[in-house]
Amino acid sequence: MKRKKESIFNEMEGTEKISNEKGNWYIAEIIEKCEPVKHNKENDIRRVITWGNFHLIKADSPKLAYQKAIKIGKESEVKFINSDKIEMEYTFVGIADLIPIYDDIEDGCEIMWTDYGSISNRKSEKFVKSEKEILENFKPNKK
């Protein structure tokens, strides 16, 4: 786990917390794909739209968290007719990762990290996107 960061935002003080005292929170990356219902299942190099969806899961063990992630993935499978009148389907592919959360969950807490290893400064700076690049991909919340 990375080093713990001190709170830098005054508004974070006294925020609502979800206790992780028992260490029973996980993040599961659930992989799903979307493609026409009528496709050549034998063609492993066919193009499919694929997502890695990250879900917050509460479970008493990694095994139970994994099983819960499988259930979530399977329950998300659905068929629909797209705007071109083609029957499409979202299919659960599997679990890509299961990551334990070590700290309490609160505004600004660190829940995931990636070790990119020893890379050049130039490469590390290429990860950064402008505010415009980040915000232009957001879609309005439909809730």
Q: Is residue 47 part of a domain?
A: yes
Long-range contacts of 79-85 (CB under 8 A, 24+ apart): 79/37
Pairing of strands 49-58, 25-36: antiparallel
Start-to-end CA span in the chain (Å): 34
Q: Starting at the edge strand that comes first in sequence, how are the strands of the sheet with 78-81 ordered? A: 49-58, 25-36, 87-100, 78-81
Q: Is residue 70 part of a domain?
A: yes
Using one digit for the tens of pLDDT, what is the confidence trace for 49-107? 999 999 999 999 999 999 999 999 999 999 999 999 999 999 999 999 999 988 888 88
Q: Is residue 76 part of a domain?
A: yes
The structural domain count of the chain equals 1
Residues 79 and 88: their CA atoms lie apart, in Å, by: 6
pTM (predicted TM-score): 0.71
